[in-house]
Structures are given as C-alpha cells and as structure tokens.
C-alpha cells in the first residue's frame, strides 16, 4: 500500500494501542496504533464511524423535510447541513436565484454558525492544549482550567459563541434544530428589535475576534519549531471561493491547488463535483476517502477547512480579516503553509471575517424585508455545497416526481479531511511515540493533531474534557499488556 504507516506488513506480530474514543471528539473517533516490542510504530489509523446510514434514512422522505432532518448529523454545526441541503433543494424547486433578502438571511445564519463553531473549537476544545501544552496536567487541560488561568480569554470564548448562537436563533427560530431555510428561500426575516439587539453587541464581537487572531498568532510565533512542524504533511487543498476569488463560506465555485499552491482546477460549478472528485472505500474504515480524479487516489487526496480556504482565496472582502490574512501569508513566506496547527490561526482569521460580515449584514435593510421565497420550474436533482466550519460540505439529492428523495449523497467536511487527518496523526506518532513508553500526554499529542482539523468529532457535551479515554496496549496474541484510562 502506498500510504506510509497505513498498513503494517505483519500486523499479527504487533501490539495494538487504541485511543477510543478520542476525547473532545464527537461521533465515534477511534485511533488504533500497532507497536512492536520496542514500541516502534508500524500502523496508525483514525477510524470514524458515521453518516453512511443517514443517506439511506433520507431516501423515501419528502424533500422539504430534508433541510431540517439533516441537522441531526452534527451536534456542532447543524446549520451547515441545514443550508447545504436547502441549497441543493433550491434547485429542485427551480429557485436558481433567491431573493436578496433570503440569500442575505441565510448568509447571516451561516456566518453566525461559523462564529459560534470556530469560537467553540478554538476556546473550548483547543485552547487548553495550546495555552497549557499538549502534555500538561490533564486535570487542568480543559476549559475549566482555562477559565481559572485565563478568565478573560475563557469568558470571551463563551460570549463569542453565545453571540453566534443568537444570530442563529433569530434567523432559524431556534439555537439548535431551527427551520429558517426552506427550499426556495427562508421562512422569516429579522424584526427591528432582533436586529438592534445584535447591533448592540457586534462591535465588541469584532474587536474580540481581532484579539483572538492576535492571541493565536502570538502563540504560534512564540514556538515556530513546534507550530510549523507538528503533524506536518504536504497535500493538495480545496474550497469554494466566491466572486473574484473572495473568501466565501456560503457560495461560490470549486477551486483546488496542489501543495505548492498551483491551481489544479478553478471556477468549477459544483453541480459537476462528481466529475472532479471520486470517493474511495477502504476496508478498514467506514468513512470514504475522496480524491481528485485528475490526480488519482495516491496523489489526489486533499485537505479542506480554514487552512485551505484562507490560502485558496485571492483576498478577503472585509478589512480587518484581510489585514490578518496578509500577515499570515507573509509569515508563510510565499508558499502555502501545511502545518496542521496553522489551522487554528486561519480559523481565527475566519472567525474575524464572520464577525465583520455579520456587522455588514446587520446594516443591510434587506434582512428586514419580507420578500423571502421564489419558485421556478421543478427539477429532479440538485447539489448544494457550502463551506462548513471544518471544510467543504456536499449535499446531493435526486427527487422523484412525487416529491420523494430517491438518492442522497453527502460528502461531509470530515470525510474530505479523512486522509489528511490520518497523515497528521501518523506524522505525530512517528515523531513522538516511536520507541517510547506510551503515556497519556503522548497520546494527547495524537488528539491535538485531530482537533486541529476537527472538533466535529467533538460533541458539545464532552467539551469539558470529561469524556473517558481508554488506551489499550495489546500484544500479538491480542492479550492486554497495559491499559491507560482517564475519566
């Protein structure tokens, strides 16, 4: 097999370490590591059990139910699924172009979602590792520890998230499981009172987001040896970009670059995604491995999410975020940055951009308009793509003449990053675990790499680092040699 450390030559002779489940990672994340008697690492795999059943579940359901139903896919960013499905089904109801009010209200909802998800990801789930160190005292390495040591940082994290959730509430009707977007538009606009409440807060939300960028920038620059190399691998990257190549989370065309930043494709209408992207099934994982057809399965895998987006766009339309993007590009020194920990820096640039866009939208009278729905000629198929907090998200549906969904295909951000996350943890395992006695702190390094990409795997209820972690070292016969657990 071509991917190093994906498959060991003689697994039967090796000991097995399973990190199960990965703490602060939702869904069923599990890492297995095969070690020999000298603790040399032979195989590392991230297994994620998810989603496949969901596509089946959607089949046979009426299409208008889908945008609400798919929110159950993710506890952290249900709005992304809500909107990606709505965009696909807009095409089914013939709504090629939404009213300006509907498009802006959806955008507002989505950017509120980006803000809350990025704040949660950074402050609640990752700041403990970044502020205290990856193998710092595990009892302190959680948001409660951050609140004790850096109360202002923790408080802002909470309030940024709360603001994002409030934006979602006024656009979708509820903080979770709202219903705002419907095929062809949205079902509500903002009242003046709702808008004014948000306007009161948005200025310091923007300011705090700027300071969050500076915080992570400083942390990153203080330890370039770690931050520029931890878990590093080079890869292609992909995102949608908006008009003129702007950073855009809600709509645009597909653009992909290789590891040097050279374009692989650009301006691709995402209705055609299947011509460009193929999904490979591997026997050991429930999650598929997508790759660019043009490059094949060995060379064609890619990463998505903040690090991909911020380096894929030509510019950011809002001034503060654009300034920070330039600083980042400058630091990267003219070629793309591939370090997984740089995801955090770019994530905070995106959070700032989201805050600035929300500010602009709150000043736009269209969000108060009641011109919310359009319909056109009914179609049988639609693809909706959105940049979710963790990366590009595809929803593809076919709907029969009786309005029932007959085919659903979803490529979620985590799937897009599947190979990338596997590469990152293999790098970390090689560098930190190889030949050493495995400790909780060392294993947390693996999780730090995963969390750089994906808190999605991280459920809000487990956000306090309280999720039990079990690690088992199993010898060649499958007998338990040593067990580590935290609870």
- Among 56-64, 151-159, 293-301, 458-466, the segment contacting another protein (CB under 8 A): 56-64
Applying the rule CB under 8 A, the residues between 394 and 433 that interact with another protein are 402-404
Among 150, 188, 204, 323, binds another protein (CB under 8 A): 188
- Neighbouring-strand partners of residue 322: none
Q: What is Dmax (Cα atoms) for the chain?
A: 68
Q: Does 60 bind another protein (CB under 8 A)?
A: yes
- Among 47-55, 173-181, 361-369, 435-443, the segment contacting another protein (CB under 8 A): 173-181
φ/ψ of 62, rounded to 5, equals: -65, 145
Q: Does 374 bind another protein (CB under 8 A)?
A: no
- Among 63-71, 213-221, 276-284, 452-460, the segment contacting another protein (CB under 8 A): 63-71
Cα radius of gyration rounded to whole Å, the chain? 22
Q: Does 472 bind another protein (CB under 8 A)?
A: no
State in angstroms the smallest separation of the CB of 377 from another protein.
14
Q: Does 179 bind another protein (CB under 8 A)?
A: yes
State in angstroms the smallest separation of the CB of 104 from another protein.
16
Which residue lies nearer to another protein by CB, 46 or 181?
A: 181
- Among 5-13, 112-120, 170-178, 198-206, the segment contacting another protein (CB under 8 A): 170-178
Tokens 């803000």 belong to 115
Q: Does 30 bind another protein (CB under 8 A)?
A: no
- Among 45-53, 58-66, 154-162, 200-208, the segment contacting another protein (CB under 8 A): 58-66
Give the C-alpha distances (Å, rounded to integers) separating 112 from 169, 198, 238, 260: 9, 11, 23, 32
Strands 185-186 and 181-182 turn out to be: antiparallel
DSSP per-residue string spanning 399-454: E-TTSBEEEEEEE-HHHHTHHHHHHHHHHHIIIIITTS---HHHHHHHHHHHHHH-
State in angstroms the smallest separation of the CB of 400 from another protein.
8
Q: Does 172 bind another protein (CB under 8 A)?
A: yes
Q: Residue 135 burial by CB count (10 A; 0-12/13-18/19+): exposed, middle or buried?
A: middle
Which residue lies nearer to another protein by CB, 61 or 323?
A: 61
- The DSSP output letter for 481 is E
Cα separation, 478 vs 114, whole angstroms:
44
φ/ψ of 411, rounded to 5, equals: -115, 105
Can you read off the two tokens belonging to residue 396? Answer: 């593809």
Which residue lies nearer to another protein by CB, 178 or 389?
A: 178
In the shown chain, the binding pattern of residues 93 to 132 toward another protein, with x for contact by CB under 8 A and - for none, equals x---------------------------------------
Judge whether 112 and 171 are in contact, CB under 8 Å: yes
Cα separation, 471 vs 366, whole angstroms:
54
Among 1, 10, 52, 62, binds another protein (CB under 8 A): 62
Applying the rule CB under 8 A, the residues between 436 and 465 that interact with another protein are none
The SS3 call for residue 360 is helix
State in angstroms the smallest separation of the CB of 368 from another protein.
14
Binding site for another protein (CB under 8 A): 60-62, 64-65, 67-69, 71-72, 93, 172-174, 177-180, 182, 187-188, 402-404
């Amino acid at each position: 097999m071509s991917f190093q450390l994906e498959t060991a030559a003689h697994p039967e002779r090796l000991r097995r370490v399973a990190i199960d489940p990965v703490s602060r990672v939702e869904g069923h994340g599990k890492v297995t590591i095969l070690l020999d008697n000298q603790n040399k690492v032979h195989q590392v795999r991230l297994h994620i059990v998810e989603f496949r059943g969901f596509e089946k579940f959607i089949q046979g359901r009426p299409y208008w139910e889908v945008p609400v139903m798919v929110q159950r896919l993710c506890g952290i960013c249900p709005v992304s699924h809500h909107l990606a499905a709505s965009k696909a089904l807009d095409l089914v109801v013939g709504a090629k172009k939404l009213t300006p009010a509907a498009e802006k209200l959806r955008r507002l909802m989505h950017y509120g979602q980006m803000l809350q998800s990025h704040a949660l990801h950074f402050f609640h789930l990752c700041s403990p590792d970044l502020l205290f160190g990856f193998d710092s005292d595990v009892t302190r390495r959680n948001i409660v520890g951050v609140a004790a040591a850096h109360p202002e940082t923790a408080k802002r994290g909470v309030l940024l998230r709360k603001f994002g959730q409030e934006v979602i509430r006024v656009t979708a009707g509820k903080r979770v499981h709202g219903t705002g977007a419907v095929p062809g538009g949205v079902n509500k606009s903002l009242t003046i009172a709702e808008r004014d409440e948000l306007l009161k807060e948005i200025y310091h939300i923007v300011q705090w987001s700027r300071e969050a960028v500076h915080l992570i920038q400083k942390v990153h620059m203080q330890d370039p040896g770690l931050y520029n190399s931890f878990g590093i691998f080079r890869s292609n990257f992909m995102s949608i970009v908006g008009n003129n190549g702007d950073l855009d989370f809600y709509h645009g065309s597909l653009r992909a670059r290789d590891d040097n930043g050279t374009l692989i494709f650009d301006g691709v209408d995402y209705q055609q995604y299947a011509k460009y992207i193929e999904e490979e099934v591997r026997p050991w994982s429930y999650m598929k491995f997508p790759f660019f057809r043009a490059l094949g399965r060995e060379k064609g895998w890619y990463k998505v999410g903040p690090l991909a987006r911020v380096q894929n766009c030509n510019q950011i339309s809002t001034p503060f975020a654009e300034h920070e993007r330039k600083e980042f590009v400058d630091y990267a020194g003219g070629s793309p940055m591939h370090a997984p920990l740089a995801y955090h820096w770019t994530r905070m640039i995106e959070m700032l951009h989201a805050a600035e866009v929300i500010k602009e939208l709150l000043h736009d009278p269209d969000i108060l308009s009641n011109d919310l729905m359009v319909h056109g000629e009914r179609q049988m198929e639609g693809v909706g793509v959105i940049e979710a907090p963790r990366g590009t998200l595809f929803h593809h549906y076919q709907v029969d003449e009786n309005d029932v969904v007959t085919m659903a295909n979803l490529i979620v951000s985590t799937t897009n990053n599947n190979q990338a996350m596997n590469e990152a943890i293999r790098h970390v395992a090689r560098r930190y675990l190889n030949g050493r006695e495995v400790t909780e702190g060392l294993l947390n390094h693996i999780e730090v790499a995963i969390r750089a990409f994906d808190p999605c795997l991280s459920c809000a209820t487990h956000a306090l680092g309280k999720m039990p972690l079990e690690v088992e070292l199993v010898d060649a016969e499958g007998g338990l040699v040593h067990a580590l657990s935290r609870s």
